[in-house]
Structure 1
Amino acid sequence: MSETVLEVQGLITAFDTERGLIRAVDQVGFSVEKGRTLGIVGESGCGKSVTAMSIVRLLPQPAGRILGGRVMFQGRDLTKISPKELRKVRGGEIGVVFQEPMTALNPVHRIGRQLVEALRLHKKISQRKAWAEAIELLRLVRIPAPEMRMGDYPHQLSGGMRQRVVIAMALSCRPDLLIADEPTTALDVTVQAQILDLIKRLQQEMGMALILITHDLGVIAENCDDVVVMYAGRVVERAPVKELFANPLHAYTKGLLASIPRLETPPKTVLPTIPGMVATLSEFVPGCRFCQRMGRKGPTLRERPPFEQVKAGHWVEMCPVCYEGKEAGA
């Protein structure tokens, strides 16, 4: 049996606004096992990053709060532990690669100082040993001349180099779980491939679990073992990656997959798109939110569809309109 590193159950995250408390993540659940990669995919505004930040309780304060659910990591509920315990978990047992490296790195401190600070905070080692380990970390993520780069400021590095530094920082304490929140945003295709290969290689070497958040289904297909499809703060489908691509059941998942360019597609063909946009948080209906986007009326907007398992490992939100794989009498 594989070891479950993280299990999220019924997670509810909300933000305090002028209109009251508004849910951004609505009863989300999934698990990730040691050595495996879970991909979380969906359009911008679907709650992927908020879910990730809820796991490590890095929500904007004082507006963001967790209203319900459990985040079980190595037998502990991260929503219940003290801030002191949580600081040991963050960066030590759970590493986070943030979406934008320029905001993850302090622009007024040199790279070396930031790496050394992270190491000394969690490992309680001397300045000299931390400096040597930081150089080895930069070498591990394939940054050339790491001794020289230790003295650079973030703005002196390219986007790809900055992202490698953020990865090095996240892996500094050899975590059991790495959360990579769109780690290739704003990088060109070549650098994107290098960063993803790097994360995959380091994952295999360390045997850690990985949560990879992206809006790119191509990245999901190449790098993940299991997939969670999120829409409007909810999980609408969850399955092993091969099963999801071969047999998508929810209309939203089908729409995402149909929008991918294919080799056999004739040049200048207009790709299919999903009409409309994700509703704002304050506009979410209690029922099926994809029906809301499609402009449908009726009972599907009023009552939330159940989330059920239709075959081994394959779960889907059972909206009678959006779930098109349901057989008569099933």
Structure 2
Amino acid sequence: MVREVLEIEGLRVHFDTLDGPVEALNSVDLKVDEGQIMGLVGESGCGKSVTSLVSIGLATCEIDEGSVRYQGEELLFRDTPSKIKIQQISEKITAFGVMAAIFSFFATILVEPNFFSSLFLFFLAITSTSWLVGFSAKAESRKHQRYMRWVRGNEISMIFQEPMSALNPLYKVSKQISEVMREHDRLVEAETPGIERIWSALLSPFSMVSGAFSAKPRQSSVALASLLFIFAAQLSGSKDQILDVFSAPIKLFADLSSWLLALGTALAGFELTSLFGDAVSLTLDLVAILLMENIVIVGGMGAIYGYGKFSEDSPFSSISLYIPHVIAAYLAVYMMIWMPLSGLSAILVICALLALPFIIWSDFLRLDPAHIRQVEGILDDVRIPDPKSVANMYPHELSGGMRQRVMIGMMMACEPKLLIADEPTTALDVTIQAQILNLMKVLRDEKGTAILLITHDLGVIAEMCDDVTVMYAGRVVERASVREIFSNPLHAYTRGLIACTPSLESERGSVLPAIPGQVANPSDFVTGCRFCQRMKREGETLGTRPEFIEASEGHWVESCPICLDESKDRWV
């Protein structure tokens, strides 16, 4: 007997807007069986993603009625009207009590201590009591939220449409996958004892310094020598003489600049021919700009008179690369010698106190080698080449296809019973699309995971799915097996989607038809057939909702008589 993994019945939800409630789903029915790939297809805005988000408790809409069950367990939670009323009253009293208590507190200090202190205690008691009443009224809601946190990721996982918005750009791939597994207690036992990890974390500042000397010995030696020189200068008692020596190049540069300015004034109108070959008339506003390995001569009114480039073997080419670093280091050493020793010591101590906890805590939170191997195994399961390198990368370092594979690996890490894939191949090229779809099929075959595949691409539906549910304007209009849908579509909207899809039978140069009109604004939806509303039809079908009937075994369709009549189809 096939077991139902997900069952949605009569789901109706709305969004609250400034213009009033807007209906998003209207009596949606959907079932996904164990090991089945169910396709959910429709145009953008038809309610596919809202259906999936409501199923896992992530939608921000209000649920009017209906049921969502996972293996028989209800996933929707609605408080009783009495508890909702208690929570609303509690929130208002608590907000008023907090403001009154703050006012009473300041009045106690500034006006009359005796009277307002009693008033402060009174409002504090009222606020605490009101908050406790509201907190107890939300007990069942908190219990349901804990259950949903266990379900999400552990039993039901979701692959979102854009992996870059779902992955955290600040964490490496290994960190993000291990975080999911830690949340659901799926990590293997760490091979490093806790005491050893703590001891290693405490010694991490020294390890970091030794690692810096090993990786960059020359730069580290220069930095250490500079620091020792600074403290020696501070303690030697001859700090003023050392500062005079450091100030000499600055004074020399200032004198040289003045001399060059005077020379330029004296040579006004002189023709320079040696550098670029063409005569350049120098004026008082002549400027020579040295940028890395380029030199530009700019004349009056901003006109560029010449452009030159130092040769590769010129000393300026190599020296110019180090000029910014030398200047920065020079100024830093000068400032540290100029500062009083007490101020310099205070700054160094404060920086150390701020940095050491972060360094120690970061080292303690490093993944255990056993957990790293577990993450690499997960990446290998989703056919990622060189998983060891990928695990150590950030999301922005990966291609779109690799990011989507990481998302699939993350969602499959806890071996969920149901995988919801919301447009998993939209932003990928066709080659990567085929690889991702094949990977999802392999995971279904190997692990028996049921998949709810949300897409607007009928080609993907035909390739991947066992059964198809077609949605339009917040309603399910047809549901059947893939073969039945493509060979015998009953609803006009389904026939329109298929007609708009390229096929091998299409003639070269032919123009694909399109469904006329647009989906109506959700606030303007009619009670009856919404596809007839789009096609600008009139009659009883707009006022009475068609029943959802089983036209043949396993083939369900919304029974609008006009939409069932293929002769009434009108594409453009």
In the superposition, the TM-score normalised over structure 1's length comes to: 0.95
Amino acid in the other structure paired with 1:111: V
**How well do the aligned residues superpose, as a CA RMSD in angstroms?**
1.4
The Cα of 1:123 is off from its aligned counterpart by 1.8
Amino acid in the other structure paired with 2:10: G
The Cα of 1:66 is off from its aligned counterpart by 2.0
* 1:301 equivalent among 503, 527, 542: 542
* 1:110 equivalent among 172, 190, 193: 172
Alignment of 1:164-243 (within 5 A): 164-243=405-484
For the residues of structure 2 that align with 1:104 and 1:245, how far apart are their CA atoms?
34
Higher helix share: 2
Find the residue that maps to 2:513 and give its secondary structure: coil
* 2:507 equivalent among 257, 266, 278: 266
Match in the other structure for 2:377: 136
For the residues of structure 2 that align with 1:91 and 1:124, how far apart are their CA atoms?
11
CA contact (8 A) 1:119 1:130 kept: no
Structure 1 runs, 4 residues or longer, greater than 2 Å off: 124-132
Q: Work out the number of aligned pairs and report it.
A: 323
For the residues of structure 2 that align with 1:133 and 1:9, how far apart are their CA atoms?
39
* 2:492 equivalent among 233, 244, 251: 251
Match in the other structure for 1:67: 64
For the residues of structure 1 that align with 2:547 and 2:16, how far apart are their CA atoms?
27
* 2:394 equivalent among 142, 153, 167: 153
The Cα of 1:298 is off from its aligned counterpart by 2.4
Match in the other structure for 2:19: 19
For the residues of structure 1 that align with 2:531 and 2:372, how far apart are their CA atoms?
51
For the residues of structure 2 that align with 1:192 and 1:303, how far apart are their CA atoms?
41
Match in the other structure for 1:4: 4
CA contact (8 A) 1:120 1:130 kept: no
For the residues of structure 2 that align with 1:226 and 1:185, how far apart are their CA atoms?
21
For the residues of structure 2 that align with 1:164 and 1:198, how far apart are their CA atoms?
9
* Deviation per residue, 1:246-266 (Å, 9 max, x gap): 110000000011112122222
Match in the other structure for 1:79: 76
Find the residue that maps to 1:82 and give its secondary structure: helix
* Deviation per residue, 1:291-329 (Å, 9 max, x gap): 111111222112211111111111100112112279xxx
Amino acid in the other structure paired with 2:71: Q
The Cα of 1:71 is off from its aligned counterpart by 0.8
CA contact (8 A) 1:123 1:173 kept: no
Amino acid in the other structure paired with 2:184: H
- Which sits farther off after the overlay, 89-98 or 66-75? 66-75
For the residues of structure 2 that align with 1:141 and 1:157, how far apart are their CA atoms?
15
Describe the shift of the 1:261–1:139 C-alpha distance in structure 2 as closer, same or farther (beyond 3 A).
same
Gaps in structure 2 of 5+ consecutive residues: 78-142, 191-366, 568-572
* Deviation per residue, 1:68-88 (Å, 9 max, x gap): 111111120100370000000
For the residues of structure 1 that align with 2:403 and 2:52, how far apart are their CA atoms?
21
Match in the other structure for 2:287: none
Gaps in structure 1 of 5+ consecutive residues: none
- Which sits farther off after the overlay, 297-306 or 212-221? 297-306
* Deviation per residue, 1:196-253 (Å, 9 max, x gap): 0000001110011110011011111111111000000100000111111111000000
**Bigger radius of gyration:** 2
For the residues of structure 2 that align with 1:323 and 1:54, how far apart are their CA atoms?
30
CA contact (8 A) 1:110 1:154 kept: yes
Higher strand share: 1
CA contact (8 A) 2:186 2:414 kept: no
1:119 counterpart = 2:181: yes
For the residues of structure 1 that align with 2:173 and 2:64, how far apart are their CA atoms?
37
Find the residue that maps to 2:564 and give its secondary structure: coil
Find the residue that maps to 2:65 and give its secondary structure: strand
For the residues of structure 2 that align with 1:131 and 1:95, how far apart are their CA atoms?
22
